[in-house]
Structure 1
Amino acid sequence: MNFSWWFSKKIALGKNTKNNLSSIIIRIGQVAVALGIIVSLVTISTGVGARKAIKSKLADFNGHITIKNYNSNNSLNSDSLSIKQAFYPEFKQIPDIEHVQAIANKSGVIRTAENFSGVVFKGVGTDYDTVRFQNFLVKGSFPKINNDSILNDVVLSQKIADELKLDIDSSFVMYFIRDESKPVYRRFNVKGIYKSDIKNFDDIVMLGDIKHVQNLNKWDSTTVGSFELFVKDVEDIERVSGEVAQNIPYNLLSEGASDSFAQINEWITIFDKNIVIIVVIMLFVVIINMVMVLLILILERTQSIGLLKAFGATNWRVRTLFIYYAIFIMLPGLIAGNVIGLGLLLIQKYFKIIKLPAENYYISVAPVYLDIPTIVLLNVGAIIICAIVLLLPSYMISKITPAKAINFR
């Protein structure tokens, strides 16, 4: 058995440490460790959770990857594109892509008796992933689009519906411009109402039957505006987008959700920076406290150090003994920090107590993402880093001689 490990455990767990002068300092060190772990766990879990939640919202609503004409302009209206592509309806060359759907956009104006609003009609077909869209629905249902007939049911955002005073089963007229001729209009029925908490979508997007867009643009049933692709893991969008670009014709463009919403994506990266900064600060606080604890323990047990050296213990053995001692002191703080931190995160995860202003954060509830490997790495990393850093203050043990230490008062 390792002597330093065994002896440090005896000291740390022995009753003689309960009532000495260093007990207060030890408790302060343990509290600092616990607070450091709590703050780090909450920061990582909520920060990563927010990043994933916002990315998933952006991607799930508008596709993880979009394939469109290379010459597509910045207009809200889609350019024409043949649906007869090698990657449709299944992108067999890339296993990470789990779904492909065709869509087409057409801008227009909704007019009611009291108000009007400019919107983009997003036409979707029978291949549209309505199950994924269920997360956004707050009222009603998604229209049951079929290939046999054109459907007049649509889904509006909560914001547009409120502004125009529309609700489920309401009807309205929407005007479209076609080939510089007189405006044409279509009457639609509100089948469902959604809320994404993302201004880019909630302000203008309305979903309905793609056949309306095809008719308005004088396209046949084999012509669409673009394709939306969904990958298995939202964190792989950029990598898979690059692979898609290598597997589509030269006249088509592959664009990931991160590129489509560059400003929002840059804002999301702030989470990663904040996570790193906060974890580093908390780790620094823990290290400073543990260094202070170790120095006080060394001063308090100077006579014991002298006796150990007198019995033949080397400087390195005594140093490792005190480093192990400090680690044993850390453990209660680590355990308490994990229990409290994970408890708070689980409460938020299942009861959603903390709310967020959606207009600022794109999400209405503080999300929690618990990643076991990351939690384990945080704890193990804290112990290892502290053990390495504590090597420096433990060097003062080498300066203690047996004769002076035994006479130390």
Structure 2
Amino acid sequence: MNFPLYFSKKIALSKDNKNNLSRVIIFIGRLSVALGIIVSLITVSVGLGSKEAIKLRMADFSGHINIKSKRSNSSYDSSVLDQKGLQLNKIKAHPDVAGMQEYATVYGILRNEHNFAGIVYKGVGKDFDHQRFEKFLIAGKTPEITEKGFNSGVAISEKIAGDLHLKVKDSIVAIFSKNGQEQPLYRKFEVTGIYKTDIKMIDDQFIIGDINHARRILDMEKTDVGGIDVFLKNVNDIDKDLPDIEKYTGVKNYTEKATDKYPQIVDWINIFDNNIAVIIVIMLVVVVINIIMVLLILIIERTNSIGLLKTLGAPNTQIRTIFINYTLMIMIPGLVFGNLIGIGLLAIQHFWGVIRLNPENYYISVVPVDMNPLIPLVISAGILIISGFSLIFPSYLISKISPVKSIKYN
């Protein structure tokens, strides 16, 4: 029989405790553990959820990895993608690739009697992933692209629609500057859908339409494209899969990660890691201090028991183990209730989106949470293990207690 564990259970489950101070201290210890669990759960789940949500919004709009021509300059007008060495079949066959779509972009201006807005017209083809884009739609639908003739439908952002007082089925004139011509080109479009990504750099300028319009403005051939959006099955695999995809893009093309396209957003996302680390450390310090306080109070309270155990021949190591186990058992109700409350709050936010944010500042309109079941398990195990190690040094106080004096202690 494991005597330290058996004795720890007996005193932990004993109801014969008339010391009000120890009850208060134990309650404070459990409360600190519960609060530490709740705050840590919310911090980690919201931090990881926010990072994932923002990355997905960037990547699902414009591809996790973009393939472009090296002739492309800093303007939004696409250069023709070089087909030499471009092996799309091998890219599509990659096990982590979920899909691809062709596009071409050109800069222009939308204008009506209310206002005007500089826009980037992103022409997409018949391989456009309508289903992936649906999560951004707040009204209408994406234009149906067949690449036969010129489809006049476009999907615009809520920001552009608001600036120009547009709604679904309204018409709008776009003005483009064609290479080598002083006379601008005018195109009339019909709004088929309105989207919102909550990412300002996207919502302020991009509209989605037929790739044939972009080809005509950029003097491209019927089969030319300005780039390819590559979608991966997991947004977190971008860095891992980029070298594999680069091998099949050709020497005159290059690849660009979605995370490199908007570096200011990525820098902002990385702040989450620092915030999570700081808050977790603070919570651990608070929990450890309170648990050490609980241990010391328990040692003082049960000085007679310690003296009796020493008189009966129990070594200091065994007695220290008893009190460390006892203290960790006291933590368990705090761990349980902390997890129940923390997971409950996260579930409410996950399913009902109670807490909302200003997307202009946070790039998301609802606080997202990561409901990965490993998060509470890792946090709970981490707090228990760290607390157990932190109790070893203060438990040496037991070795200073004299059996003779402690038995007389009242």
CA contact (8 A) 2:83 2:250 kept: no
CA contact (8 A) 1:89 1:101 kept: no
Q: Taking structure 1 as reference, are residues 253 and 149 closer, same or farther at Cα in structure 2, changes over 3 Å only?
A: same
**Percent identity (aligned):** 47
CA contact (8 A) 1:83 1:102 kept: no
Aligned ranges for residues 376-387 of structure 1 at < 5 Å?
Answer: 376-387=377-388
Corresponding position of 2:2: 2
Q: Taking structure 1 as reference, are residues 168 and 145 closer, same or farther at Cα in structure 2, changes over 3 Å only?
A: same
Corresponding position of 1:282: 283
Corresponding position of 1:362: 363
CA distance in 2, matches of 1:341, 1:244: 41
Corresponding position of 1:237: 238
Aligned ranges for residues 2-401 of structure 1 at < 5 Å?
Answer: 2-17=2-17, 20-82=20-82, 86-88=86-88, 91-92=91-92, 94-181=94-181, 182-401=183-402
Deviations 1:152-207 (A, max 9, x none): 00001111111111111111111111123110111110000001111111111010
Shift of 1:95: 1.3
Which secondary structure does the structure 1 equivalent of 2:21 belong to? coil
CA distance in 2, matches of 1:84, 1:189: 37
Higher alpha-carbon deviation: 214-223 or 278-287: 214-223
Q: Taking structure 1 as reference, are residues 139 and 29 closer, same or farther at Cα in structure 2, changes over 3 Å only?
A: same
User: With structure 1 as the length reference, what TM-score do the two structures score?
Assistant: 0.97
Deviations 1:3-39 (A, max 9, x none): 1111111101111136543011000000000000000
CA contact (8 A) 1:83 1:222 kept: no
CA distance in 2, matches of 1:105, 1:192: 19
CA contact (8 A) 1:89 1:100 kept: no
CA distance in 2, matches of 1:154, 1:85: 33
CA distance in 2, matches of 1:353, 1:38: 17
Letter in 2 for 1:50: S
Cα RMSD of the aligned pairs, angstroms, is 1.4
Q: How many residues align?
A: 409
Letter in 1 for 2:308: L
Q: Taking structure 1 as reference, are residues 125 and 83 closer, same or farther at Cα in structure 2, changes over 3 Å only?
A: farther
Which secondary structure does the structure 2 equivalent of 1:16 belong to? coil
CA distance in 1, matches of 2:21, 2:184: 86
Shift of 1:134: 0.2
User: Which of structure 1's runs of 4+ aligned residues deviate more than 6 A?
Assistant: none
Letter in 2 for 1:300: E
Which secondary structure does the structure 2 equivalent of 1:227 belong to? strand
Which secondary structure does the structure 2 equivalent of 1:290 belong to? helix
Which secondary structure does the structure 2 equivalent of 1:387 belong to? helix
Deviations 1:200-246 (A, max 9, x none): 11111010000111111121122111111111111111221232223
Q: Taking structure 1 as reference, are residues 294 and 45 closer, same or farther at Cα in structure 2, changes over 3 Å only?
A: same
Q: Taking structure 1 as reference, are residues 146 and 92 closer, same or farther at Cα in structure 2, changes over 3 Å only?
A: closer
Higher alpha-carbon deviation: 83-92 or 355-364: 83-92
Q: Taking structure 1 as reference, are residues 222 and 18 closer, same or farther at Cα in structure 2, changes over 3 Å only?
A: farther
CA distance in 1, matches of 2:237, 2:372: 17
- Structure 2 gap ranges (5+): none
Matched, 1:406 2:380: no
Shift of 1:114: 2.6
Which secondary structure does the structure 2 equivalent of 1:100 belong to? strand
CA contact (8 A) 1:108 1:120 kept: yes
Letter in 2 for 1:313: A
CA contact (8 A) 1:238 1:258 kept: no
Shift of 1:137: 0.3
Which secondary structure does the structure 2 equivalent of 1:31 belong to? helix
Letter in 2 for 1:78: S
CA contact (8 A) 1:68 1:227 kept: yes
Shift of 1:278: 0.4
Q: Taking structure 1 as reference, are residues 298 and 48 closer, same or farther at Cα in structure 2, changes over 3 Å only?
A: same
Q: Taking structure 1 as reference, are residues 156 and 83 closer, same or farther at Cα in structure 2, changes over 3 Å only?
A: farther
CA distance in 2, matches of 1:203, 1:195: 10
Shift of 1:98: 1.3
CA contact (8 A) 2:92 2:99 kept: no
CA distance in 2, matches of 1:122, 1:22: 68
Shift of 1:250: 2.2
Q: Taking structure 1 as reference, are residues 258 and 75 closer, same or farther at Cα in structure 2, changes over 3 Å only?
A: same
Letter in 2 for 1:311: L
CA distance in 1, matches of 2:72, 2:408: 86
User: With structure 2 as the length reference, what TM-score do the two structures score?
Assistant: 0.97
Deviations 1:132-167 (A, max 9, x none): 100000000111111323200000111111111111
CA distance in 1, matches of 2:333, 2:17: 14
Deviations 1:68-120 (A, max 9, x none): 11232111111111467644266145311111111100111111123211101
CA distance in 1, matches of 2:252, 2:396: 67
Shift of 1:401: 2.1
CA distance in 2, matches of 1:163, 1:156: 11
CA distance in 1, matches of 2:87, 2:52: 27
